[in-house]
A = this chain, B = another copy of it.
């Protein structure tokens, strides 16, 4: 039986090309080597929040630990057992589990795959032109401006959060 191709507004995520590149400046781009995303947002015509289906290979991570000044974030674990790492410590998640990160909450977070199996998560985040993203472990911040190349700046004493 031939596979039926879905028509919009429905979408089969496997039809979306994998995005493999990282926006992080070296050497931080290595952190997400092994993480790939299927960005669904534009294909679905959405603009108010973004949706990715993200795969994290064994030993890789979703991102540097970070928090957003103006964007809520949400993740749903589709498969695998990622470790959620926050300021408060680590928790291992399992398929069907969720997590939410309210805008402005200064609790850096990321998912790390410490297992031998690929992790797949659905991730949702508001899109705000005001948003800054803060990376406390490496003292970087990413300036607002969704539609230009990301601008990472070092946080120093004169540039506190």
Seen from chain A, the residues whose Cβ lies within 8 Å of a Cβ on chain B are 4, 6-14, 40-41, 43-49, 51, 71-72, 74, 76, 78, 84, 86, 88, 91-93, 96-103, 105, 107, 109, 122, 124, 126
State A105–B150 Cα separation when bound (angstroms): 31
A72 to B12, CA, bound (A): 18
* Beyond known contacts A6-B97, A78-B96: 14 more, CB 8 A cutoff: A7-B88, A9-B84, A9-B99, A9-B100, A9-B109, A10-B84, A10-B98, A11-B98, A11-B100, A13-B96, A40-B98, A40-B100, A44-B74, A46-B102
Q: Given A91-B6, A100-B9, is A122 in contact with B44 using a C-beta cutoff of 8 Å?
A: no
Query: In the complex, what distance in Å separates the CA atom of A91 from the CA atom of B6?
Result: 7
In the complex, the answer to whether B102 meets A45 with C-beta atoms within 8 Å is yes
Bound complex: CA A88 to CA B78 (Å): 29
A13 CB, min distance to chain B CBs, angstroms: 6
Q: Quick check: B51 and A9 within 8 Å, CB to CB?
A: no
Q: Contacts A6-B93, A40-B100, A93-B10 hold; do A76 and B74 have CB atoms under 8 A apart?
A: no
